[in-house]
Chain A
């Protein structure tokens, strides 16, 4: 037995780095995986709330009202959506997820009066049937896109990019292409399906304006139209999305999850959610569109604290993806033995692309899919959403707010200089915001 206690690990060539070099040398192909960015980056954890004290008074936790409702899409749409909580479910495709998982997301979201979102692959009857509010994604691949489903949707989300891979498309590997998935996408069973990185019939913000007008015409100006961008040049992207006519802008930070993307893309493209929220709010404010065009923020939202901080920075709502899957049962210890067989462990599993998810969520295998009870999983998601909401209200009341939208940047302080600069709030105990005079 070698005593490893005196061995010095390289910070540059750590064991995971060495293992990745070895893996690359063995296979000649980059690592494709699911989940979001795993490395440490500045996040909402680096902010704290300044609870009420002498200069502010708080609201009573168990007595005084703290409203959480949010209206989405009242800029142009005849039928905006009013959700009961400021937390929505992000787009995740049928194909990447099992039909049971999609149904469970609909059930959980509906129970809490909020929306869920389709994904790349079309709308399933299970999801539509169980979703009180369903946002229909309009993606470059247009898999499963048809005007009938477009009219069944409660809102339309034009996806320009996502936080895990701004500027990237996707690939659903052949092992997840069942007969049903293939049929919905008009492609043969079992082949790798590429999701394009650009829309096939428009390029740039001027075209997008025309495209949005077309979607409004097709749906008789009823549906709110969202534009989703991966966080990168966020100030400009949000400005252009507003100019193009979006009712709602969705900004997805680099912690946002994916079902299948190159690791190098996930970890090295895009900016964290924290600075993206500030940049998006600045764009809205500069155009006098803050609270007129709603901002939904996603990417690494885990707790009511994250929700409340995003709202305090100026978002109207947040969206969750990875956390929702975990609430359904992803990475649960009960499947530890099976995770081990796949060479991983509960808490680390990220090979969503392989279609062998023991929890029955990121798979099309009928046997694995059946493990997920949509009713029970939906209840777990509703429970989790309820906790996020209660936590958000707790923090809002502590800051004296009767509506979660009354939270403001003045309620926040940063624990690190980086977070202070990125979020645009003072370093705790000072008036200093790096980058501002």
Chain B
């Protein structure tokens, strides 16, 4: 058990501790919107942050479980490899950008470009996401219990998107897909893992790649 009060301790001291080999329970107080809080964790630490964090909290996280009791700035859990990141408030832009694995849960809303270039991560947003979310999303799953902004899934590859509310518009090469039994089961598992209750998988629509732009073709130039 370790605790860091970022009013007195430095972010460097915290991160150095998290890069140690011993799994630990770590409490972080007074983050005060600081950047790079709990980045690059290398083991299954359990980190609880009480307050708001700035850019790149839990960036490149591997194995650790990070809870932010507050809001998160841009680039939360960017390039995360595994583990779990849970924000009780809302997350700013680029949430879980390029993340390869693990689960990111946002109790509030996520801003624009949530899941941009995601590479295998699962993201569950209990509120809504902003424009250009899942832009160039490669693999992984994004669940939005609220609404999605403009150009959802623009230039998407193989990622799967589930949205319960309205979608302002779909981006290039993104289309609505059939919601089959296996998708409903997968979605239910994700909702359960994220602790979402009171919603039915039947309320969601599934979106993914139309795969029409996978090979550059001059006839598709107007689609870009």
- The chain A residues found within 8 Å of chain B, CB to CB, are 27-29, 141-142, 145-148, 150, 171, 173-174, 185-188, 191-192, 194, 196, 200-202, 207, 210-211, 213-214, 217-221
Contacts and interface: CB of A to CB of B under 8 A. Distances in A.
Nearest to A171: B216
Contact of A28 (B79, B119, B218): B218
A322 B159 CA distance: 36
B218 A200 contact: no
B47 to A, nearest CB: 14
Interface of B: 11-12, 15-16, 19, 35-36, 39-40, 42, 54-56, 59-60, 62, 74-75, 78-79, 81, 94, 97-98, 100, 113, 116-117, 119-120, 135-136, 138-139, 155, 157-158, 214-216, 218
Contact of A146 (B39, B79, B113): B79
Contacts of B81: 146-147
A136 to B, nearest CB: 13
A244 B157 CA distance: 33
Nearest to A191: B214
B62 A173 contact: no
Contact of B35 (A29, A173, A174, A214): A214
Given A192-B214, A194-B155, A214 B36 contact: yes
B56 A214 contact: yes
B56 A210 contact: yes
B19 A200 contact: no
Given A191-B215, A200-B94, 19 more contacts: A27-B218, A146-B79, A147-B79, A171-B216, A174-B214, A186-B120, A186-B139, A200-B116, A200-B135, A201-B74, A201-B98, A202-B74, A207-B74, A210-B35, A211-B55, A214-B35, A217-B11, A218-B39, A220-B15
A217 B138 contact: no
B216 A192 contact: yes
Contacts of A27: 218
A203 to B, nearest CB: 9
A contact patch SS: loop
Contact of A173 (B54, B75, B157, B216): B216
11 contacts: A146-B79, A188-B214, A200-B94, A201-B56, A202-B74, A202-B75, A210-B36, A211-B56, A214-B36, A214-B56, A218-B59
Contacts of A213: 35-36
A169 to B, nearest CB: 10
Which of A146, A148, A202, A217 has its CB near the most chain B CB atoms (within 10 A)?
A: A217
Nearest to B95: A201
B138 A29 contact: no
B216 A145 contact: no
Nearest to A145: B79
A371 B54 CA distance: 51
A258 to B, nearest CB: 16
B117 A187 contact: no
Contact of B215 (A174, A207, A221): A174
A186 B79 CA distance: 13
A196 B216 contact: no
A94 B49 CA distance: 39
Given A186-B119, A186-B120, A201 B75 contact: yes
A194 B136 CA distance: 9
B16 A29 contact: no
Given A187-B138, A214-B39, A145 B98 contact: yes
